Structures are given as structure tokens and as C-alpha cells.
Structure 1
Amino acid sequence: MPSAAVLYDPVAPDFQDRHAEVYRALRDECPVYRESRTGFYVLSRYADVWAASADWATFSSVTEEADYHKPMMVDLDPPAHTLIRRVVSQAFTPRRVAALEGAIVAKVRELINAFVERGSCEIMSEFAALLPSDIVGELLGVPQEARPGLREHTEELMRMTVPRDGAAVAERVYAVFEDLLDERRRRPADDMMTMLLRAEVEGRRLTTDEVLGFCYLLLVGGNDTTTNLIGNGMWLLDTQRDVRERLVADPDRIPPAIDEILRLEPPTLTSGRQTTRDVELHGVVIPAGARVQLLWGSANRDEREFPDPEHLDVDRKPRHASFGHGPHFCLGAPLARLEARLAFRELLAVVPDYSVVGEPRRVTSSWARGFAALPLTFTPGRRFA
């Protein structure tokens, strides 16, 4: 029998506080763990998670869990996934992403200006949640007045412990995008919604449901992951202030620091697959048709892959799993890295001495890692011109 520490229950109230301990026990004692509540088989070691995420023929992304969604790339396998990805990847070319830098810097400084003279802020609601929602809204072509409502929907989804509970919220998101797509059909614009409506896959246009599925995916993935990346990073840099001092002195170290933050505190802890055949791992047979969880959060802390894994080492070059691997490697990774790099650069320039105070509050989620509230104090600074 596994030890008490291995009783993996991601919906337990204390899981977010002791997840590293649970992950370590899973890796050491039960690298293939059967969760009693859901029946999932849980993979926790880096080598197993990395291999399974690339082996779509065995660990399929086509699962029953997504039955309330419109068709989304994350729920498809090649070749259907490849065709859709080829179309939407046009929105994330290096040139298109680099062209957003000026707009991102402007938004970052606008948000910082709202609190920098005060000497305190709640960084999640005043900065981390607002930046990506505005950038994703700009990419998609969402009007300013519709962005707060969509942001509230994504925050509601992030708080849910069971993904299937998001059906009602998803329908509200789809309703907003259906209206916006109708408007784009009447009045095309230079945005992603228009591009998707005009795109073709093997001689056919994307269906409305396919377009809605991608808009939903970008909204949720582009908002929550970057929001959590920024919040997790600010918290980590407060706990390891020697690292923060290095970044303040040498902002060129921020990009590798972002990868370390992603490794140690990934915004997404897990994702699901379904086996297409019997698989034997570590003496355990996972039967065909079984649901499998790939624990990105555990893989990133595996001592077998990362020496001293609990340490934030900005000189490390980690091959972390936080953006996935294989055919489902995150399309938006370059954009998330750009947003995070500019956010940390500007924040550390004006509030280098910040401290986390009060009662930071974690997001209650079985799959996300982030903060619902992260209050900071700092020496009041000067606004950007």
C-alpha cells in the first residue's frame, strides 16, 4: 500500500499547500498511481510524462471529458489536429508576436502607473489578470467593453475543481463569441477572428464550431496561464530574494528565470489523455480506454531530471514540461514568454523592493496553480511618462 502522502487528491482543500510533498511521494512510491475517486491513472515521473505527451497514438487527446466543448485542438489527435494547428499557427509567427511588443509595454506601464505611487497593490487583480486579457482581446478582436465579462468567465473556470462543471460558463463564453463572429462576418477587421473565418483547411472553411473552439481555447489558455505565470513569479521572487536581486541588476537574466518559474510553479499542473491500447509502466498495466493524468507539476520537480529541483536556479537550462510536449506543445508559448518578460522587466525596474504581505490566497483548482490574491507593498515609485 502506498503511504498516506501518496493519497493524491487534487480537490482536497490542502492539496495546493502540500502538492510538492505529494508529488515526491508519487514519483518515489507509485509512479503509476490509480486515483480511487475518478479512476484515473496518474503519471508523475518526468520521463513517463514526457514520453506519453509525445505518443499521441497511445495516449490520445480525444477523450470523453471534453464533450461540452466545441472542437478544440487540445482535444484532437493528428492528422485532424495538424490541419487545424497549421491554420491557427499563422497568428503566432515570430513576426506577429514581436509586433505586439510595443502594445504590451504600453499596457504594462499603464497598469503599473495606476498603483506605483501608492506603495501597495494587489498584483493579481490590478495587474496579472488585466494584462493578458487585454492582449488576448486585442489579438482576437474583442471590443474593450466585452473584455471584463470574458475575463470574469475565465476566472470562474479557473476556480472549478472539476473541469466538467465548466459547461454552463463555456456556453456563456460561446454566446459572446457567436455575437462577435456575426459582427466580423458583416465587418471584417485585421484580427484573429476575421482570419479564422477566412481560413481554409484542405479546401474548406473552418466551421463556426471550430472557430468558436479556438477562440475559447485562446481566451482561457492565454488568460489564465499568463496570469498565473506572473503571479507565481512575483511570489517566488519574494521567497528567493537573492535571485530577484540578480534580475534587478541584470534584466537579461529574466528570460531564463521565466523558464525556471514555469518549471517550479507551472500555471497548469495536469492534463488528461486516454489510452488506445494496453500499456505497461513500472509493472502496472494501464488498460486500453483508461483515463490518464499527466502531472506536469510533478514532472518538473523530478530529481531524476533536475538536480536540486526545489531551488529556483536562473542558470539552469530546464527542459520543463509546462508548455506541454509533442503535437500539443503550446502555440502561445512565445507570446506568454514575451508578456512575462516585459511584465517582470518593468515591475522590477520600478518596485524592486516589493514584499508579499497579508494573506496571499491560492486559486482553488485541481488543475491550475496560481493566486486569487497576492498583496504587495513596496517603496512608492515614479510613474512612467
Structure 2
Amino acid sequence: MLTKKSLFAIVSEDPTKLPMQLAAAALDDPVYFDEGMGMPVVLSTKWIEIMLRDGQTFSTRVFANGLMKDALIATSGTAHTQMRKLYNQFFAPQQIRAYEQKIVVPAVAGVLDSLANQDQPDLIDHFCVAVPQQVVSALFGLPADRIASNDALVRKILLAIVRPFDPEVVSAGSDAYAEMADELRSIAARELENPSDTMLGEIAKALIAGGQGTVEACERIVFTLILGSYETTIWGLASTLAGLLRYPEALARVRDDAALLPAAIEESWRWCGSSSGTVRFVEQPTTIAGHDFDAGSVVQLGWQAMHFDASLYPSPETFDIERKVKTMIFSGGAHYCVGAPLARMETRVAISQLLARFPNLRADPSRAAPKYMVGTRGSIAFGPDHLPATLN
């Protein structure tokens, strides 16, 4: 197996430079050892799909002893099925439609009112971050300023989750969780005692009805949903705007025909995918693309190489909103993200309202172009460091 300096350590004004490099590396060898990651990285589309399907050999047990202990991602078998069934109640189509009208539409409208007052808006600060803050606030009945103040803590926690073998990172994530723990327990206890009419209140009612109405169980769900519904949406929105602002022709088409927006979102998530991948634990000795792995090994699955696999997406560097895309930012297999329907809906509503409110929206060429990198703004995501725009 080849050992390489981190292929992920690219900073560029071209968002396709990193995934193109990963896709090229996949042709040399579908698996390599990344010095920066400190683990092997699988770049092969075929093997990524195999590993996602085969949970017996490639499990999520790597998460079981960390901050995500007892969370959905760390479970398997019957425990996973039962917990996923609980979550699915709150992401069913009828629930998503209710969230859209009751929560997301008014939340986005309020953000756009504030955005209109910005002379030189950075769409990451004033839109991509602001929208999820308001939505999460409404979903969970939390003050938006508390969500904002916990932003740095959430990012430290997420970094610890994706780098479980980095002692310094894990320690910082544990400290961050400790700072949030009392607040999470207080929220959980409040909802169990007197469930509100928020999504969190409905979760509390479901836990009580299922005989799982403990503060610990509710706290774990609050923690998981805040992590999953905040940072993920920020960078999903940023990816979508990165593509549309870079290609004004596509932006104009989407503005004129709202039916194109869902496909444009999926292509944006392929072309500037915010997730670099996930990790899996090797449960038994196995071979991946000709390389032997011992039980207990941990490997990274590299989505971005798959997104730029030319056999799946000809001319992958081209931003084409008419492609048929299978985005991997929500993972796959048994651990496909349960909140994906909410993220898609929130992104669609936010972008459509943004374009309707500011029909002359465009990139601002008078300011420095965005730079794209893994870990942008201290997150775990790949994306732009800023998105300067002109509204009028």
C-alpha cells in the first residue's frame, strides 16, 4: 500500500482540485495510507459501495466508545433498527411538510430580512450559518443565541468524532461536550416533564410512550440531532451557493425554473461535496482492493473520489445541473443519514426564497475569491472560507 502525504491538505480557489486529485489517485491504487489522516483511505467506488453494504465486516464500532456512544451511528443489528424506527417517525414525509410550513419558511424569511441590511454580505455568515441556527432553534425550542454560542463547541465535538485516534483532538472534543452537557440534560429533563409543541417535544412523547423516557435517552437524541442538523446544513447550503455563484448561467436557469433546483442541489453536493468521507472498523481479517487488513483496523471511505469518478460522471469537473447524481454526503447502506429529507427540504426552501427575494444575486468579484479546503473555518467540512455576494 502506498503511503502519501495527506491528499486532503489542498487549499485552492478551485473546488474541484481536491476531488480531481483524489479521483486520479484512485486510478493509481484504490487504497493508500494517508499520513495526515493517520489511516488508510479507500478511494474506489466499487469498494466504498461494498463496505457500506457489508456492516458485518465493516462496522461503525469505531464510534462506540467515544462521544457518540449509544448514538444511532454507533449501533448495529436490532438496537440500530429499533432506534432508527424511532427517528424515522420525525423525518417521515408528512412531518417534513409540516416542518417546512411551520418552521423553515418563516425562519428563512427572517434571515433574509436581516440579510437585506448587509452592505457587503458574506453568504456563509449571513445566510448559510444563520438559516440552520434559526431552524434548529425552532425545532428544539432553544434560543438562537445559545446555538450560536455553542458553535465552536459543536465543531470541536465533530472533529473528535471523525478523528477518534487523535488524543489531542479527542480531549478537546470531550471538554467541549462537558461544557454543553448540563444544558443538554436540562433541555431533556424539561421536555420529558412538559413536552413542548416542537420536534423535541414530539421526540420526548415518543420516548415516554416507548418506555424509554429517561433523561439520558432524551439527552442523547438532542445531542445527536443538534450535531446532525446544524453543521451539515451550513455546509450543504454553502456547497449549493458555491456552484450557483460560480456559474451564473446555472443560477439564471434555476432562478427562472424552480423545478431545476433539486437537481442543482444534488449536483452541487457532488461537485463541491462538503463531506470528505466516513470511517469504518474492520471486524475480521479481510482484503480490500488487493490489500490485506487485520481485524481492528480503521479505514476512511473517501466520498470525493467517488463523486469525481469519471466512469459515473463524465467530465466530473464540469458543473452540470442536469446530471443524475447519487450524492454520498449522507453516507449509505444501513447508516444512511436519517435526517437527509430535512436537510434537502431546508436547502431547497432556503435557496428558493433567497433567489426570489434577491433576483439580482451574484458573486461579488471586487472581493477576494473563496478558497476551498477541508476543515474550512474550523469545521470538519470541505467548502469555501467565505462567499462574497452582491444582492442588488
Range class of TM-score, shorter chain? 0.7 to 0.9
User: Is 1:130 aligned with 2:143?
Assistant: no
Identify if the C-alpha distance between structure 1 residues 197 and 23 changes in structure 2 by more than 3 Å, giving closer, same or farther. same
Correspondent of 2:248 among 220, 226, 241: 241
Amino acid at match of 1:150: N
The residue number in structure 1 matching 2:99 is 100
The answer to whether residue 137 in structure 2 is matched with residue 168 in structure 1 is no
Where do residues 1-385 of structure 1 align in structure 2 (5 Å cutoff)? 7-10=5-8, 12=9, 14=11, 18-36=17-35, 39-63=38-62, 66-102=65-101, 103-116=103-116, 118-157=118-157, 162=163, 164=170, 165-200=172-207, 204-205=211-212, 207-349=214-356, 350-357=358-365, 358-359=367-368, 360=370, 362=372, 363=376, 367-379=380-392
Do the aligned partners of residues 208 and 356 (structure 1) sit closer, same or farther apart at CA in structure 2, a change above 3 Å counting?
farther
Q: Partner of 1:178: helix, strand, or coil? A: helix
**CA displacement at 1:271 relative to structure 2:** 0.9
Q: 1:285/1:96 Cα in 2 relative to 1: closer, same or farther (>3 Å)?
A: same
In 2, the alpha carbon distance for the partners of 1:366 and 1:312 equals 24
Native 8 Å contact 1:132 1:226 kept in 2: yes
CA distance in 2, matches of 1:202, 1:113: 40
Question: Does the Cα contact within 8 Å between 1:2 and 1:29 map onto a contact in 2?
Answer: no
Q: Secondary structure at the match of 1:280?
A: strand
Provide the secondary structure at the position in 2 that maps to 1:217: helix
User: Which SS does the other structure have where 1:34 is aligned?
Assistant: strand
Distance 1:128 1:158, change over 3 A: farther
- Equivalent residues of 2:6, 2:35 under 8 A apart: no
SS of alignment partner, residue 382 of structure 2 = coil
Distance 1:87 1:209 in 2: 16
> Contact (CA 8 Å) 1:324, 1:330: kept in 2 or not?
yes
- Cα deviation digits, residues 189-237 of structure 1 (max 9, x gap): 1234334344359964155433322222211221111111111211211
C-alpha distance 338-8 of structure 1, shift in aligned 2 (>3 A): same
Report the equivalent of 2:167.
none
Per-residue displacement from partner, 1:286-309 (whole Å, max 9, x unpaired)?
Answer: 222110111112211111222221
In the alignment, residue 382 of structure 2 is paired with which amino acid?
Answer: R
Query: 1:235 and 1:66, CA in 2 relative to 1: closer, same or farther beyond 3 A?
Result: farther
Shift of 1:156: 5.0
> Which range is displaced more, 79-88 or 37-46?
37-46
Structure 1 counterpart SS, 2:240: helix
Gaps of 5+ in 1: 380-385
Deviations 1:305-345 (A, max 9, x none): 22221122111111221211111111111111111111111
Which digits, 9 at most, give the CA deviation of each residue in 1:61-105, with x for residues without a partner? Answer: 011575233421111222211111111211111111101222322
Q: What runs of 5+ residues in structure 2 fail to find an aligned partner?
A: 165-169
Secondary structure of 2:313's match? coil
Given that residues 238 and 356 in structure 1 are in contact (C-alpha distance below 8 angstroms), is that contact kept between their aligned partners in structure 2?
no
2:281 partner SS: strand
Distance verdict in 2 for CA 1:209–1:273, change over 3 Å: farther
Structure 2 Cα separation of the partners of residues 25 and 62 of structure 1 = 30
Instruction: State the distance in 1 between where 2:35 and 2:371 align.
Output: 28
Q: TM-score, normalised by structure 1?
A: 0.88
Mark the CA change 1:2 to 1:38 in structure 2 (over 3 Å): closer, same or farther.
Answer: closer
Give me the whole-angstrom Cα distance separating, in 2, the residues matched to 1:236 and 1:338.
Answer: 18
TM-score, normalised by the number of residues in structure 2: 0.86
Q: Distance in 2 between matches of 1:159 and 1:59?
A: 21
Range 241-250 or range 57-66, more displaced:
57-66
How many angstroms apart in 1 are the aligned matches of 2:209 and 2:191?
23
Residue 149 of structure 2 aligns to a residue whose secondary structure is: helix
Given the superposition, is the C-alpha separation of residues 222 and 355 from structure 1 closer, same or farther in structure 2, using an over 3 Å criterion?
Answer: same
Q: Which moved more, 1:365-374 or 1:154-163?
A: 154-163
Please say if residues 197 and 205 of structure 1, whose CA atoms lie closer than 8 Å, have aligned partners that are also in contact.
no
- Aligned-residue CA RMSD (Å): 2.8
Residues 203 and 225 from structure 1, CA distance in 2 versus in 1: closer, same or farther, beyond 3 angstroms?
closer
For residues 201 and 54 of structure 1, the distance between their equivalents in structure 2, rounded to whole angstroms, comes to 33
Residues in 1 aligned to 2:133 and 2:206: alpha-carbon distance in whole angstroms: 24
Deviation at 1:136, TM superposition (A): 2.1
- Pair 54,143 (structure 1): closer, same or farther in 2 beyond 3 Å: same
Identity value in percent: 23
Q: Distance in 1 between matches of 2:19 and 2:62?
A: 28
Q: Deviations over 1:241-283 (max 9, x none)?
A: 2211211121110011111111122222111110111221221
Partner Cα distance (1:243, 1:118) in 2? 25
